[in-house]
Structure 1
């Protein structure tokens, strides 16, 4: 059974079937290690002499994820007892095996830097340049990640004084509105409304993400609320290549929708060479600000509509297609990108309708998507083309499942959110590295087959 089902000659399962030495070499070659070494290596000439092989330590952390070694303690034990594994990670027989404290100091340096994010971006750009990522559709979703620490008791909300009944005076209403505006302005960026993110830079959005483990809530398959204590991982995945293009790590209580704009801005700023035409998300991301950000990206929104107790519009169906006098829905015909206009044609039922020639029923109906980005998308909601693109959203769900089952995404062993984020970043670095290694091997095999056939 393959891990990622693609029509290539080589997949992740084949990678795991290789000898460990070849498997490690293939994945390690996709990681640019020099920038990481510049961060973690000792820079001062003073103090105790350097006796640690920092490059091998970094490779051993990635090998830990590949080999599904649960803890750093188990990793050290494996390095001591398995000489081949030790050599595969880059340690010499004369090198001292690092202690848990040494790994801890390295993780602290990585946690205080954004170097892993920058190396991931370089890795993705390399995959694009080599022609392995050609996606025009990106899918976004989030998943819960449980913390290992015991969850604290839920805090009870303090009881507030009962509201004074009756209508406020004009002065009281103005004072209340002013105080409310001041409170909202003083809130942290991720506690404000999503619209506040539109004019914030990517650096501001990245630096303001809450990382501490918190109580989160989600619905299970039965529709019941389930609580967990920990974090959330947010991913933007290429639906065809299944590479992780962007990610965000946050506290467990962060609303999924508030992570979408940072992911989209990350694609715009860091992966502008990738021609993204569509962004597909589920109904949890149905916010006007997200539609606006996707529009600014130059792409189209394929997002499930959440009615939110809204009443249906008269003269339109549930997908906002216009209806004729007899309430038959117009058919989506095409989209004019020059004028950003959707074109609808008369329903089939109007062919034999006595009102077909009447001025009440027009043959063609056009609407600009900028009239309401949330209602009007290209292709139009409810059309076959829209449904086909929306189905590609399952790619991000598969990638999350692979990360949890095969790459230890859910195996967070650190107490602080900053260190947990290091594990989160390493997980993606190894996953994308394994994908890139597989694509390179598949390309090499295909080239050899063509040469033999010739």
Structure 2
């Protein structure tokens, strides 16, 4: 690994350890491991640069500084706090946390509605996603990674499932809406010959994944459904589990570093998101192999990976046939796919991915991306050192 690619990252880390931490200790502030992690996440991600400050030129009470709220929501992800009430309670009695976030006293601490308005603003212009993208570009865009692993994880939400509309754009099942009713009885010979002739003339319909390969990453992400829906899958023990909510699709580089994240409805199949994941990840970093489990086994996905300049290592799904095993060297490289599973578990167990109290795809994605941002900073520092 060429460590010269991480000069700026090491400089930020050196500043935090040798300047900021001693300054805070001189102020009689006790820094726990979690508080040190919070300070690193705030300073190294440089989230303050991307916060849009509200104008104070209007009449009335001046708005609170949005930088304070951004730091507070990072603290919420670091301390794995489920609700905004828990965050406000923690800020009320933890003087050190309040100073780090920028709130002066408990009397000036904003109420819950102010936190909700700030979170809504961050969701509208995607503050944690912009910060995460900038961090990847500044510190990892010039690094050549061996592989990237793709996978999804279930995200449960507390909202009602939206019923599917009859007029669905981009129907992946190639079905038509409001088809005319068929006549009862056996069709005539003329009707059968006409149907056979039409089938021969008609071109083979293009699949959903093949259509994605011809579109840009922005178009592909926009065409994916993002409403709460029901879905089910088999867990590691073979039992079927059902949940209501979403799926978070993640691409992870070696070192368990999340590179790209896409949120979709829970009912979307994993294979329909791999093409935009590969497109977005390719635009951010350079890597050689695409790793995925048998749920992504598709000829179209392998061809899409080759078109983007990568080598696909996707586990074979036998589908009532003999399973094709990896070659010896491929099996060794495929072991790196466990990194994306660790990222999923890390997000859910320690950074707020398991308890979602906000509603709507935008707010759910913002809540998750604060946790992903913390993981990215933490794992990149470990990878660089």
Give the TM-score taking structure 1 as reference length: 0.67
Matched, 1:111 2:134: no
Q: Write the distance in 1 (CA, Å) between the matches of 2:289 and 2:312.
A: 6
Superposed CA offset, 1:147-194 (max 9, x none): 123668999xx9x9688564543445677999999xx89xxxxxx722
Matched, 1:285 2:229: no
Please give the residue correspondences for 1:297-336 in structure 2 after superposition, counting only pairs within 5 Å: 297-309=308-320, 319=324
2:341 aligned partner: 397
Please give the residue correspondences for 1:17-416 in structure 2 after superposition, counting only pairs within 5 Å: 18-38=32-52, 41-43=53-55, 45-93=57-105, 96-128=108-140, 134-149=144-159, 166=186, 168-171=191-194, 193-238=208-253, 240-271=254-285, 274=286, 276-309=287-320, 319=324, 382-416=326-360
Q: Report how far residue 230 of structure 1 moved.
A: 0.8
- The 3 A distance-change label for structure 1 pair 44 and 290 is farther
Q: Write the distance in 1 (CA, Å) between the matches of 2:297 and 2:372.
A: 27
Superposed CA offset, 1:408-453 (max 9, x none): 212111121221111121111111122235557xx4xxxxxxxxxx
Q: Report how far residue 401 of structure 1 moved.
A: 1.1
Matched, 1:421 2:372: no
Cα RMSD for the two superposed structures: 3.3
- The 3 A distance-change label for structure 1 pair 283 and 163 is farther
- The 3 A distance-change label for structure 1 pair 33 and 178 is farther
- The 3 A distance-change label for structure 1 pair 389 and 166 is farther
Q: Write the distance in 2 (CA, Å) between the matches of 1:47 and 1:308.
A: 67
- The 3 A distance-change label for structure 1 pair 35 and 28 is closer
- The 3 A distance-change label for structure 1 pair 411 and 170 is same
SS of residue paired to 2:353:
coil
The structure with the larger Rg is 1
- Structure with greater helix percent: 2
SS of residue paired to 1:392:
helix
Give the TM-score taking structure 2 as reference length: 0.78
Q: Report how far residue 211 of structure 1 moved.
A: 1.8
Q: Report how far residue 229 of structure 1 moved.
A: 0.7
Q: Report how far residue 114 of structure 1 moved.
A: 3.5
Unaligned runs of 5+ in 2: 1-12, 14-30, 166-176
SS of residue paired to 1:211:
coil
- The 3 A distance-change label for structure 1 pair 436 and 394 is closer
Q: Write the distance in 1 (CA, Å) between the matches of 2:221 and 2:147.
A: 23
Q: Write the distance in 2 (CA, Å) between the matches of 1:165 and 1:137.
A: 57
Q: Report how far residue 301 of structure 1 moved.
A: 0.7
Q: Report how far residue 267 of structure 1 moved.
A: 1.4
Q: Report how far residue 44 of structure 1 moved.
A: 6.3
Contact kept in structure 2, 1:51 and 1:96, CA below 8 Å: no
